[in-house]
Amino acid sequence: MVLCLCADPCPGVYPLVAFALSFVLLVTEAGKPKGVGAVVRRTVAVVAAIVLCLEAVGIVVINGIMATFVHHQSMSLDGLDPDVMVAGTWAMGGVSGFFLAVCGTLFLVAAVRDRGPGRWGRVLLVGCAVVHGVLGALAVGPVGWHAFTFLMVVLGLIVFALLQYGGTEPAGSTEPAGSGEGAPPAGEGPPASLDKGPVVGDGPARA
């Protein structure tokens, strides 16, 4: 990565990289749930869902092309069976595509319900963001800055969508216990009994 920066292999791409990094920083600071309308939240979630679903299709297609190429060329890596390589390539593409499709579905459901995903859904989406960040750092050398820019933009979009739903909770989940319809109003207890018990000293005890 340092050699790529020193040799300046792609002049003109650095503004795009600076834009991607600035976008990530801006959404991290500005993406607060307060004051954000439902239309903005749903729009961001729908865009994130579309991008992730397209990325899922793309990763499956790329792995399919690689598997087909390896199969027709009977390529082998360190003595590995070509059929094993083909099956591994298809499996990696299928798992990656399924993972991205699930993340996109979570954002789509969040947009429809206008409610953030649950705890495990957030864990899955955070993991997706981390994977994009790691792949972006690793893709600079073998692929180039264009792949890095794309992955950083997707990372920023995922973080932005997560922050938009950071404070949305189900309605009524914050009501204190005992505040239902059957509970008595505040400051009112059960009616006091006017029966003071038996009277002692004035003849026979009477209730």
Instruction: Give percent of the chain with pLDDT exceeding 90.
Output: 28
* Exposure class string for 26-44: b at 16+ Cβ within 10 A, else e: ebeeebeeeebeeeebbeb
Return the C-alpha torsion angle 128, 132, 138, 143, nearest 10. Answer: 130
Predicted pLDDT of residue 11: 46
Q: How far apart are CA 98 and CA 191, in angstroms?
A: 62
Q: How far apart are CA 207 and CA 197, in angstroms?
A: 6
Contact at 8 Å (CB) between 172 and 33?
Answer: no
Measured in degrees and rounded to the nearest 5, phi and psi for residue 11 equal -65, 140
The pair of three-digit structure tokens given for residue 77, joined into one six-digit string: 């890596």
For all residues of the chain together, what is the average pLDDT?
A: 73
The pair of three-digit structure tokens given for residue 132, joined into one six-digit string: 């994009």
Q: Is the pLDDT of residue 181 over 60?
A: no
Taking each helix axis from N to C terminus, what angle separates 145-164 and 14-30, rounded to the nearest 10 degrees?
10
Query: Distance of CA 59 to CAs 125, 144, 146, 206, Å?
Result: 18, 17, 16, 90
Q: Is the pLDDT of residue 175 over 50?
A: no
CA 35 to chain centre: 20
Contact at 8 Å (CB) between 152 and 134?
Answer: no
Q: How far apart are CA 190 and CA 156, in angstroms?
A: 57
Q: How far apart are the first and last CA of the chain?
A: 95
The pair of three-digit structure tokens given for residue 58, joined into one six-digit string: 């793309």
Q: How far apart are CA 70 and CA 56, in angstroms?
A: 21
Collapsed DSSP state (helix, strand, coil) of residue 186: coil
Predicted pLDDT of residue 179: 47
pTM over 0.85: no
Least confident residue range of 27-41, 79-93, 141-155: 27-41
Instruction: Give percent of the chain with pLDDT exceeding 70.
Output: 61
Per-residue pLDDT, averaged over 89-104, amounts to: 93
Question: Tens digits of per-residue pLDDT, 22-60?
Answer: 555 444 444 444 445 778 888 989 999 999 999 999 999
Question: Tens digits of per-residue pLDDT, 115-132?
Answer: 888 889 899 999 999 999
